[in-house]
Structure 1
Amino acid sequence: MKREELLRILEETGALLKGHFQLSSGRHSEAYVQCAQILQYPWYLDKFCTALANLFNDREIDLIIAPAMGGVLISNGVGRALKKRAIFTERENGQMRLRRNFYIQPGEKVLIVEDVVTTGKSVREVMEVVRNLSGKIVGIGSFIDRSGGKADFDGVKFKALLTLDLKTYMPEECPFCKAGVAVTKPGSRFINR
């Protein structure tokens, strides 16, 4: 998929929002990517998942894994495109875990997928789960890299369909806060800083 098509779909589905947002990291931004808006259109979801799978068709992969909640459908879609088993992690008492009798065999080659990577916290938590179960991480993919290409996963190859360099600010430096603009907190979790 070309950048222009990806941006068109993000805008068409309402997945790219403009305003004043507090991100899960605690930082503030003038833009927020809400990939759940794409997930409600199965034809776009299939298109994004197939394109993401194609970024990794040069890798030997046994298993696709993603963090819940947004990653559940993405893991399934990429798994369908690659014809591989697909599972997800969940938070239990604040800790990322495998549940529902999901498993990773020692030595299985694992692709981690995500909707949006900003700081990479959720991906790193999934990496820890995979490594603790002796899986081998062969790649990390996301629909959107909003880190501006700065995300680093300990040398594991990271690929995204679209990289966005969206400015973020610490709350005390945020120009929208200084201007008195109300903040929206659309994320599913927040980190205390």
Structure 2
Amino acid sequence: MTDDEVLAEFRSCHALLEGHFKLSSGRHSAHYLQCARVLMNPERASRLALAMAHKLPRDLRGKIDLVVSPAMGGLIIGHEMGRALGKDAIFVERPTGTFELRRGFEIQPGAQVLMVEDVVTTGLSSREAMDCVRALGGEIVAEAALVDRSAGTVDLGVPFYPLVALNFPTYAEAEIPAELAAVPVTKPGSRAEKK
């Protein structure tokens, strides 16, 4: 699947938004990818996951024991990636602000884990989820994501395989350009504001 074909999937369901958005990373952008919307159609989600699976090197695919995603954003694409790879897919969540494994899920010590995200901007959620998996004895072999918004700068400490890399600029609070600051801000992500 080419970058244009991936973006066409987002555009076809109005999942590529324009305005002023505060991302879950805390950064601001004039563009937002509503991955939940692009993944709401099971056939589309399956196509995207298969394309992501094909981006992984063949030898890596054979090593994966388990797919783990951070909830909420990575949950659907992680499940579909598990289906594409023929592996179980579970998720970690933050009921109290720190990622935990709940719902009777287990990670066997030494399990080779593929972390799967929807969008990576700074990589903070990914790194926090990986810390949780490692604390439980899992070994992260790589991360896959639908979208890399980091402009190629993210360092997750493991090989990273995004389906598409988008270089929409993002800005720290103090760097927001005047034209973007003039637009009312929306916070569409699932993560609550930190106090």
TM-score bucket of the superposed structures, by smaller chain: over 0.9
Partner of 2:166: 164
Cα contact 1:23–1:190 (8 A) shared by 2: no
Query: Of residues 71, 94, 97 in structure 2, which corresponds to 1:94?
Result: 97
SS of the equivalent of 1:92 reads coil
Partner of 1:105: 108
* 2:26 matches 1:26: yes
d(CA) in 1 for partners of 2:102, 2:18? 36
Partner of 2:43: 43
Partner of 2:6: 6
- What are the ranges of 5 or more consecutive residues in structure 1 without an aligned counterpart? none
* 2:64 matches 1:64: no
SS of the equivalent of 1:20 reads strand
* 2:123 matches 1:117: no
Opposite residue 183 of structure 1, the aligned amino acid is: V
TM-score by length of 2: 0.92
d(CA) in 2 for partners of 1:183, 1:189? 16
Cα shift at 1:77: 0.8
d(CA) in 2 for partners of 1:33, 1:179? 19
Cα shift at 1:53: 1.5
Partner of 1:185: 187
The superposition leaves residues 51-81 of structure 1 with CA deviations (integer Å, 9 ceiling, x where unpaired) of 1122224311000000111212211111111
Cα contact 2:21–2:186 (8 A) shared by 1: yes
Cα contact 2:117–2:126 (8 A) shared by 1: yes
d(CA) in 2 for partners of 1:96, 1:11? 32
Cα 1:77–1:7 change in 2 (3 A) is: same
Q: C-alpha root-mean-square deviation of aligned residues, in Å?
A: 1.7
The superposition leaves residues 92-142 of structure 1 with CA deviations (integer Å, 9 ceiling, x where unpaired) of 211101001101101110000010001111111111011111111111000
Partner of 2:134: 131
Runs of 4+ in 1 over 3 A off after TM superposition: 176-179, 190-193
Opposite residue 167 of structure 1, the aligned amino acid is: P
Q: What count of residue pairs does the alignment treat as equivalent? A: 192
Q: Between the two proteins, what is the percent identity of the paired residues? A: 49
Cα shift at 1:178: 6.8
Partner of 1:148: 151
Cα contact 1:25–1:190 (8 A) shared by 2: no
